[in-house]
Amino acid sequence: MEVIAHRGMPRKSRENTLAGFAAAIEAGADGIEFDVHASRDGVVVVHHDAHLPPPPGSPAGSLGVPIAALTFSELRRESFGGGDIPSLDETLACVDGRATLYVEVKAPSIESRVVSELTLHRARAAVHSFDHRISRTVREMARELPTGILTTSYLVEPERALRAAGARDYWQRWEMIDAALVNRVHGAGGRVIAWTVNSTAAVSLLIALGVDAVCTDVTDEIVPFVRQREGAKGG
């Protein structure tokens, strides 16, 4: 089973940062999952939300400055609270092939930039999205680049969704995964990736179901558990 670090090591370092990615690699992660948007001047940046965090003391529900409204240099200014937000280019250089990068594209219209940078770096990577049109577009742009689809619901025919998007990876909330789902995805030639899995008890259940990978906030706990299980099985 593959262990994917969810946004790096969010319980050790700020999520979606180079420090978090380095910590995940040190903890033995097979892959790292992160989110991307684009700045006003077209730089692909690593950040979960479309907005920066609101200033301290803002009313509940307030939004910060939209990432798309700022240039990359503006985004990096501490005054906007985004000083440690890395670019995709910086992330690729930091990881340098030591883990598979699972890139969640949050915004439409930036697919070509993402594909271009992944191709330029010859990165070991895959692209996924909740917007299955994005996954399909990436697949059409780069047939060699694996793609995936995310869903929060239990699709009765997951294989149809995979085919429609031209995707390989089926990202599903771990609580909604059962044997029937795994069998249907595998029957279509796909892989099941469970998110977000933060307990060894849940990992045990998913291993028994034949799930291919887990995405976790606690890589340093899940990696040794999975390796121990694999070692016991091999022995």
Pairing of strands 44-46, 31-38: antiparallel
DSSP per-residue codes, 124-169 = -EEEEESSHHHHHHHHHH-TTS-EEEEESS--S-HHHHHHHHT-SE
pLDDT tens, 86-136?
999 999 999 999 999 999 999 889 999 999 999 999 999 999 999 999 999
Give, as one character, the DSSP assignment of residue 105.
E
Which domains does the chain show, CATH number per domain? 2-234 (3.20.20.190)
Q: Radius of gyration over alpha carbons of the chain, in Å?
A: 18
pLDDT tens, 24-57?
999 999 999 999 999 999 999 999 999 998 888 8
Check whether the bond before 196 is cis (ω within 30° of 0).
yes
pTM for the model stands at: 0.95
